[in-house]
Amino acid sequence: MARKFLYVIAFLIALVIAGAVVYRIWGNDLIRWRFVPARAFEPQSNVREDVYDRPDMWLARPDIQRNPALWTPAGYQPRNAAGGAAIFFIHPTSYLSDDHWNAPLDNKEANDRAALFLRGQASVFNEAGEIWAPRYRQATFGSFLTDAADATRALNLAYGDIQVAFASFLRQIGNDRPIVLAGHSQGALHLTHLLKDKVAGTPLARRVVAAYVVGWPVSRDNDLKAMGFPECARADQRGCLLSWETFAEPADPSLVLDIYDRSTGFDGKPRRGSRLVCTNPLTGTANAAALASANKGTLFPAADLGSAEIKAGRVPARCDERGLLLIGEGPDVGPYVLPGNNYHVYDYSLFWANVRDDVTRRLGAR
């Protein structure tokens, strides 16, 4: 019996090793095969202009119960008084199915996963003010693994929802509140367009404390000017943009950069080879390096993801020549590291306490 057990263990170990080899060699192709929808894009009508005036269209806003963005680890508390900044946060992709190109608004799995992301990401802003995070018909994960026309249609539909949500957000917060704009991954992509289309060059831009465009590459040469904000050069600078994409080493960013390098920038020119905006979240400055001792707190989630412990001094960060944020060997923060040592899912949580201080510092700067 013991020998049979050892055979089973040996077989499982061999299977895991073989799977790891296959994943390392063909990982990106396997991901594309699994997540890109095989069906055609399904056209849908635009949402009504007033639909985001309803509280149920938001995952987070000041007046709803069980707001996931108000979560904090032990030792921290959200703001307990009204006021501060009004924070518009666009959550990352939480719809992984290949059943549709866009998530249904009532998809429970996608909404539950989005709420989890708000706890680990948007929560960094809950000391600075009130967080608004809309539900939207997000493009499915597979939309980012192909340059097919249907992927573009799915992203355009999602961005249409974001524009309506942002207009409602502005109506409801009034005309004098300072604003923080933030997002991650797909949310950061939509934020780049929102900055270009709705904020840059308008009176609204003067109210923006900072834009956190995290987990989506921003070209310094091709995108920044059109978005209307410079990259943050000082830790206490207002009216600037922060962006980073996190990789452990050795890093293979091909899953991110292959498609990005085939794209066209906001200036109409190819982005290929262009340097990315890289803000070091440990320093709040561009193209910087910092030791792990500068990290005030990384979130280490529990196995069930129901809670997290914050630990300081664990993760360093430096910007490389292309503009990727490198963190050395990489900590064990969970099973969701993507191929190529891509810590994309953890872009905020690796530097949670530093980003929390960053937004508070910029809000208080003059």
* pLDDT of 293 higher than 60: yes
Neighbours of 232 (CB within 10 A): 26
- Assess contact for 203 and 176: CB atoms under 8 A: no
> How many CA within 13 A on the CB side of residue 221?
11
Which pLDDT tens digit goes with each residue over 199-258? 999 999 999 999 999 999 999 999 999 999 999 999 999 999 999 999 999 999 998 898
Mean pLDDT for the stretch of residues 106-120? 95
d(CA 16, CA 37): 27
* Domain parsing of the chain, residue ranges: 1-35, 39-364
- The tokens for 294 are 């500068």
Q: Are 65 and 88 in contact (CB under 8 A)?
A: no
CA distance 337 to 60: 26
Q: Enter the pTM of the model.
A: 0.90
Reported as a single tens digit per residue, the pLDDT across 40-84 is: 878 898 999 899 999 999 999 999 989 999 999 999 999 988 889
Confidence of residue 34 (pLDDT cuts 50, 70, 90): low
Strands 317-319 and 325-326: antiparallel
- How far apart are the two ends of the chain, measured CA to CA in Å? 73
Alpha-carbon span 119 to 289, nearest angstrom? 27
pLDDT confidence of residue 83: 82
